[in-house]
């Protein structure tokens, strides 16, 4: 038997060890996510499909966290939905022009922030837009184009500056009879934040919560990579217009393609200019990236109303907040801080 040189034996041993190590790490790898379980859940809430994803090494904790997040979301929806007659918002609306109504801390906080975003966007974002929403049949009833006189009358009731807030007593009062709050452009964002924070407080470090495109992620993925989120092409549902990378952030898109009706070849969608009461034109979608979902939800709606020029000016003035505007001729415009986080397709 010929004796193998020592170098060869060492070489074979090292190679064998590498193979064993490779097999070991491959088995460990759960889609490259180490020991973490990938848990997914999907429920219908806030008139949309809400999808949550958790990475955790503790499966029982992950399941518990998911349940708690959905419970919290459902509980908040029940107090902020103006169509549920015993909600805080329904009570405020019913007492408009008559008396202030005491509400939960959460409802008060959302309305307080709604007023602040109204100021920030110069009134483009206005949570008192409900009377005009109703005219167009966005909310309850059939979609139809209202006439000028109807619009004029309803617009007299739209003004976020006529919301009175009493911080001490957590009371909300709408100055004029007939005024109505609609938290449709802000509550979803707040609820996404609260759902994710609920999971975080339970010890979850990597998760995402997606309420029909209102998305916030916690941390990064266990394999060390950021979350990658596709932004839909507004005129082709099957296509993506861009991909953004998120690290402990939120992204929300407002578009003219989610809720709309067509009449005489015109598209009428559900984001209204509070000055005219008419669905805005010029943009087909606005995507906002930021630290929390209440900000990105609100600003995506607000910037959509403001349009490309003033919208871009506002977003450039805000720290840690970026945007992608898509115009009705298909052009994509991104704010200056976004370059390394977005891939335009
Ligand atoms: P989605 O509800 O599809 O996520 P948005 O976040 O853009 O879309 O919010 C649109 C909703 O916001 C409308 O359904 C309505 O309830 C409300 N809304 C419409 N126009 C305005 C506006 N100018 N300011 C504030 N809220 C608005
Ligand atoms: Mg929004």
β-bridge pairing 236-246 and 227-233: antiparallel
Alpha carbon of 9 to ligand 1 centroid (Å): 71
> 286 CA distance to ligand 2 centroid (A)?
9
Question: What is the rounded distance in angstroms from the CA atom of residue 122 to the CA atom of residue 345?
Answer: 33
105-120 vs 59-80: helix axis angle to the nearest 10? Answer: 70
Q: What gap in Å lies between CA 278 and CA 91, rounded to an integer?
A: 27
pLDDT in tens, 333-342: 999 999 889 9
H/E stretch holding 141 reads: none
Binding residue per annotation — 2? no
Instruction: Give DSSP secondary structure letters for 205-255.
Output: -EEEEEETTEEEEES--TTSPPEEEEEEETTEEEEEEEEEEESS-EEEEEE
Neighbouring residues of the ion ligand 2, judged by CB less than 5 Å? 185, 254, 297, 300-301
What is the pLDDT, as a whole number, of residue 6?
A: 60
C-beta of residue 279 within 8 angstroms of C-beta of residue 270: yes
pLDDT by residue (tens digit) across 235-279?
898 899 999 999 999 999 999 888 899 988 888 999 999 999 999
Q: How many residues are there in the chain? A: 345
pLDDT digits (tens, 9 = 90+) for 73-114: 999 999 999 999 999 999 999 999 999 999 999 999 999 999
In DSSP notation, 25-37 reads HHHH-SSS-TT-E
Q: How far, in Å, is the centroid of ligand 2 from the Cα of 62?
A: 29
Q: Does the pLDDT value for residue 312 go beyond 80?
A: yes
Exposed/middle/buried for 75, CB within 10 Å: 0-12, 13-18, 19+? middle
Residue nearest to atom 6 of ligand 1 (CA): 185
Q: Residue 27 is encoded by which pair of tokens?
A: 């088995």
Q: Which CATH superfamily is domain 83-174 in?
A: ApbE-like superfamily (1.10.3980.10)
Q: Report which ligand 1 atom has the smallest distance to the Cα of 297.
A: 6
Superfamily of domain 226-344: ApbE-like domains (3.10.520.10)
C-alpha gyration radius of the chain: 25
Dihedral over alpha carbons 131, 134, 139, 140 (to 10 degrees):
130
Mean pLDDT for the stretch of residues 15-36: 54
In eight-state DSSP terms, residue 341 is: G
- Residues whose CB is less than 8 angstroms from the CB of residue 251 and which lie 6 or more positions away in sequence, other chains included: 215, 216, 229, 231, 244, 287, 288, 289, 296
Q: Which sequence spans correspond to the domains of the chain?
A: 83-174, 226-344
CB distance 186 to ligand 1 below 6 Å:
no
56 annotated ligand-binding residue: no
Measured in angstroms, how far is the CA atom of residue 223 from the centroid of ligand 1? Answer: 36
Cβ partners under 8 Å of residue 187, min gap 6:
46, 76, 77, 80, 81, 110
User: Pick from 298, 277, 290, 286: which is nearest to 341 by CA?
Assistant: 290
- How many degrees, rounded to 5, is the angle at CA 280 between CA 279 and CA 286? 120
Ligand 1 pocket: which of 114, 184, 210 to mutate (most atoms within 8 A of CB): 184
- The pLDDT, as a whole number, for residue 259 is 87
- What average pLDDT does the structure give for the chain? 92
* 132 alpha carbon, closest ligand: 1
């Amino acid at each position: 038997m010929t004796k193998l040189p020592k170098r060869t034996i060492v070489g074979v041993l090292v190679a064998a060890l590498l193979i064993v190590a490779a097999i070991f790490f491959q088995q460990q790898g759960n889609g490259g996510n180490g020991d973490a379980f990938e848990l997914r859940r999907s429920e219908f809430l806030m008139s949309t499909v809400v999808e949550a994803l958790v990475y955790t090494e503790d499966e029982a904790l992950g399941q518990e966290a998911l349940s708690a997040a959905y419970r919290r979301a459902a509980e908040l929806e029940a107090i902020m939905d103006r169509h549920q007659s015993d909600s805080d918002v329904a009570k405020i609306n019913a007492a408009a022009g008559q008396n202030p109504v005491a509400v939960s801390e959460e409802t008060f906080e959302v309305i307080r922030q709604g007023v602040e975003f109204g100021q920030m966007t110069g009134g483009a974002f206005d949570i008192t837009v409900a009377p005009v929403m109703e005219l167009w049949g966005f909310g309850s009833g059939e979609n139809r184009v209202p006439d000028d006189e109807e619009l004029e009358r309803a617009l007299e009731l739209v003004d976020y500056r006529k919301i009175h807030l009493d911080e001490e007593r957590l009371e909300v009062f709408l100055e004029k009879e007939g005024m109505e709050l609609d938290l449709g452009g802000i509550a979803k964002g707040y609820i996404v934040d609260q759902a994710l924070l609920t999971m975080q407080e339970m010890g979850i470090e990597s998760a995402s919560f997606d309420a029909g495109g209102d998305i916030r992620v916690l941390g990064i993925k266990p394999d060390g990579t950021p979350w990658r989120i596709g932004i839909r092409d507004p005129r082709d549902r099957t296509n993506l217009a861009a991909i953004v990378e998120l690290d402990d952030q939120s992204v929300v898109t407002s578009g003219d393609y989610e809720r709309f009706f067509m009449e005489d070849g015109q598209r009428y969608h559900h984001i209204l200019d509070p000055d005219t009461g008419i669905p805005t034109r010029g943009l087909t979608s606005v995507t906002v990236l930021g630290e929390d979902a209440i900000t990105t939800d609100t600003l995506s709606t607000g910037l959509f109303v403001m349009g490309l020029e003033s919208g871009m000016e506002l977003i450039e003035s805000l720290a840690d907040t970026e945007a992608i505007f898509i115009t009705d001729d298909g052009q994509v415009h991104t704010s200056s801080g976004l370059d390394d986080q977005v891939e335009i397709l």
